[in-house]
Amino acid sequence: MKITKVETLRASRFTWVKVHTDEGLHGIGEAHPASGTSGWPKAVYGGIEYCADYVVGKNPLEVEKHWQHMFRRQLFRGGSDIMSAMSAIDQALWDIAGKAAGLSVSRMLGGPVRDRVKVYVHINGETPEALADDARRRADEGYKALRFYPLASLRQGMPDSYQGIVRTAVAFTKAVREAAGPDIDIMIDVVNRLSPPEAIAIGRALEEFGLYFFEDPIEPDNIEAMADVARAMPVPVATGERMYTLYQFRELLARKGAAYIRPDPALAGGISQIKKIAGLAEADYVGVVPHNPLSPVSTAVCAQLCAAIHNVPVQEYTGTEHEPQKRDLVNDVLEVEDGFLKIPDRPGIGIDLNIEAFKHHPPVPYERPIAYHPDGSLREY
């Protein structure tokens, strides 16, 4: 079998690759917007072209070999954009390999270790009351874990004072805990916006609410600082969505910077590399919580990983997959039942794109609000 073409497909705010072969089989994979998470992910499109130059004409089934080639031909390592492109192609190659074997990807990798995985769903609200309402709604739907942004409005930036940040986080967390009751897992994500002192103060103030994890407390680049924060406050740290190499995760784990790591299948090297990252985490008693903010294709890939990997405590789930801008784009979405995502046992990654519907959902750029300090200077956003 030979790869004949790698197609970049776009709809809504998503990007996928479709890898065609000369034997009628094709595979799909999702690309993360990477550096283009604000605006158009142009470098990712370029990355896909670059990787296609290598894979076209090759046997798609030699997945690990192609991973190594795509990674190592970047003499100057390409960063998140190339890794996103590689990840999407890696997913598509595993999809083809699974279809060719008549097996789900998890079965090829020795799974399933589970046929469903607990999810945490995103809840939203710009006031403690609104957030509590959403928490109740999701709890009523059966969800057993809820994640939220505890600093009011993601769009409007941050409270203006150190104490104001802490008070806001406490108010939102308290409201969610009271709405959800004591036995639902709740977790917060501040999307890397805090300074280390702010993150430490919040983590200590929130101890009484029993948070499952505190995600991305500070900027992602300095792993030593992340480890300092993890040591200085009691809430387990989850981080890693902006990391994409085995080497970065190795350092994060060796320095004890995280209790949970969050590799993204569309960014951190696809199924091939996340299996390796999971092996590293297992040796450190660290859970892998795959990052999953994109389309139902990413969810399907995460589900295969969850079925193949022992140390997955919970899976991210946006809770929006039945909305038209997601549901229309695929042939099927995975179902959540009683707070668990059901993992399909179909060949490959178990999902396909519904390209017919793309015309109703033209590509849009990413919009991510900028976070400022009160003096007009920039925070991490």
Contact residues for other proteins, defined by CB under 8 A: 61-65, 67-68, 94, 97, 101-103, 107-113, 246-247, 249-250, 254, 272, 275-277, 279-280, 282-284, 308-310
Instruction: Give CA–CA dist 344/90, Å, rounded.
Output: 20
Question: Which one, 123 or 253, has the nearer CB to other proteins?
Answer: 253
Question: Which one, 272 or 318, has the nearer CB to other proteins?
Answer: 272
Q: State in angstroms the smallest separation of the CB of 69 from other proteins.
A: 10
Question: Which one, 21 or 192, has the nearer CB to other proteins?
Answer: 21
Contacts (Cβ under 8 Å, ≥6 apart) of 351: 28, 296, 297, 300, 330, 331, 332, 333, 334, 344
Q: Which of 99, 84, 88, 176 is nearest to 135 (CA)?
A: 176
What is the SS3 assignment for 240? coil
Q: State in angstroms the smallest separation of the CB of 65 from other proteins.
A: 4
Question: Which one, 278 or 353, has the nearer CB to other proteins?
Answer: 278
Q: Which amino acid is at 235?
A: V
- On whether the CB atoms of residues 347 and 98 are closer than 8 A, the answer is yes
Q: For residue 360, give both structure tokens.
A: 């109703």
Q: State in angstroms the smallest separation of the CB of 229 from other proteins.
A: 21
Question: Which one, 137 or 310, has the nearer CB to other proteins?
Answer: 310
Question: Which one, 137 or 250, has the nearer CB to other proteins?
Answer: 250
- On whether the CB atoms of residues 267 and 295 are closer than 8 A, the answer is no
Q: State in angstroms the smallest separation of the CB of 322 from other proteins.
A: 30
Q: State in angstroms the smallest separation of the CB of 279 from other proteins.
A: 3
Question: Which one, 116 or 138, has the nearer CB to other proteins?
Answer: 116
Q: State in angstroms the smallest separation of the CB of 280 from other proteins.
A: 6
β-pairing, 26-31 vs 116-122, is: unpaired
Maximum CA pair distance of the chain? 62
C-alpha distances in Å from residue 289, one per residue of 306, 310, 357: 9, 11, 31
Contacts (Cβ under 8 Å, ≥6 apart) of 115: 307, 342, 343, 345
Instruction: Give CA–CA dist 257/251, Å, rounded.
Output: 8
Q: State in angstroms the smallest separation of the CB of 108 from other proteins.
A: 5
